Amino acid sequence: MEKRYWLYLLVVIILLVIILYIHTAMNRRKHAQIETFRIAELPLALNRENLFIEDPNIWCNKLATYWLFMNQPNVEARGQNKLVELQEKYRSSGIQPISNVEKRDITAALELNIKSLATSNPNIYHYLKYWSQRFKLAKGANWLEGGMPHTHEDVIVLPPSYFTPTGFQFSTFFHEITHIHQRKYPEDWDDLIWRWGFQHYNFLDSPASGLENIMARNRTNPDGLDVNYVWKCPTSSKYYWIGAIYSTITPTSLTDGIQYIACELNLDNSNNYRFTGTTINLAQFGGFIDYFGVRNNNYHPNEIIAEYMAKYLVGEELSNAGYQIFKRHVETLIWPKYQNDEN
């Protein structure tokens, strides 16, 4: 009787082992099928037919807001005497035709770079999987915005050099797609800008600030049209208006004596900001550089964000307080929004 008991027990153990083995094997197979399904979902295809803008009329329709910020110094800096002349120049030669080879090559470069992030940086992959379906590309003339990459509405404008096998820069594309995000959903970035110490202040609707002559020479930046920001330096608690200005009211180019400056402001008893007369070269403004770790053309909050996004893409870590606040912002508030591909 005792021998039969142990025999039954052995049979039960063997059956349990067999069941466990089968269960494990089925789970592995199921897991493999799930992983295969996920991999099958990773490929991303850009619609080459709808990706590019070459029609001057469609192009000009994207510029309506831009013209509202175009004063006489900015017209002259772009080589024209009258706004209507500049508008015609933009329409007739602002963008260039894109060859089929160029379309093929730049589409392939975008797809390859975005797909490579699927495993190396899933957060940015999902982010770009969403935004890659919501932008257009245009090839700008070399004279357009001084040959600098920029955006209008949902259009990324790249100079001709970017449409060559060795000229395309994915980090620049990521910088520019950020500007499109900023324009479409500015509320995604409002809290970050506020935490940095920027506050919106409408100088145009406020009593004379003393900045009138300086702001008249502000270089219009299509990716940072709104310059009504005051920044409070965290180390000195002083207030500043920061911008890129021409050295003259009649500039001959977009780089004609351009100065990146911070203008010191006082907050009066009526909560109005007044220019103290003190300006600081941004490259020598320790409070700004120490806080953000960037300088010169990255003077506007939109530009700082886009520059940080490009650094995040390539894994460049900054210890500066501004970058660390940015990093927490995107990792807790931005990336989670894009984890669902149906977003």
Question: pLDDT digit string (tens) for 6-24?
Answer: 555 455 455 544 555 554 4
pLDDT of residue 44: 64
Partnered with residue 200 across adjacent β-strands are: 229
**What Cα–Cα distance (Å) separates residue 242 from each residue in 8, 232, 239, 329?**
85, 11, 10, 23
Pairing mode of beta strands 155-158, 95-96: unpaired
- Starting at the edge strand found earlier in the chain, the sheet holding 95-96 runs 95-96, 136-140, 155-158, 150-152
* Per-residue tens of pLDDT for the chain, all 343 residues: 555 555 554 554 555 445 555 544 444 443 333 232 223 344 467 877 889 999 999 999 999 999 999 999 999 999 999 999 999 999 999 999 999 999 999 999 999 999 999 999 999 999 999 999 999 999 999 999 999 999 999 999 999 999 987 899 999 999 999 999 999 999 999 999 999 999 999 998 887 789 999 999 999 999 999 999 999 999 999 999 999 999 999 999 999 999 999 999 999 999 999 999 999 999 999 999 999 999 878 999 999 999 999 999 999 999 999 999 999 999 999 999 998 755 5
Question: pLDDT digit string (tens) for 315-332?
Answer: 999 999 999 999 999 999
pLDDT of residue 37: 27
Q: b or e along 287-319 (b: 16 or more beta carbons within 10 Å of the residue's beta carbon)? A: bbeebbbbeeebbbbbbbbbbbbbbbbeeeebe
pLDDT of residue 38: 28
The answer to whether 260 and 283 have CB atoms below 8 angstroms apart is yes
Instruction: With H, G, I as helix, E, B as strand and everything else as coil, classify residue 155.
Output: strand
Q: For the chain, state the CA radius of gyration.
A: 27
Residue 323 structure tokens = 């970058």
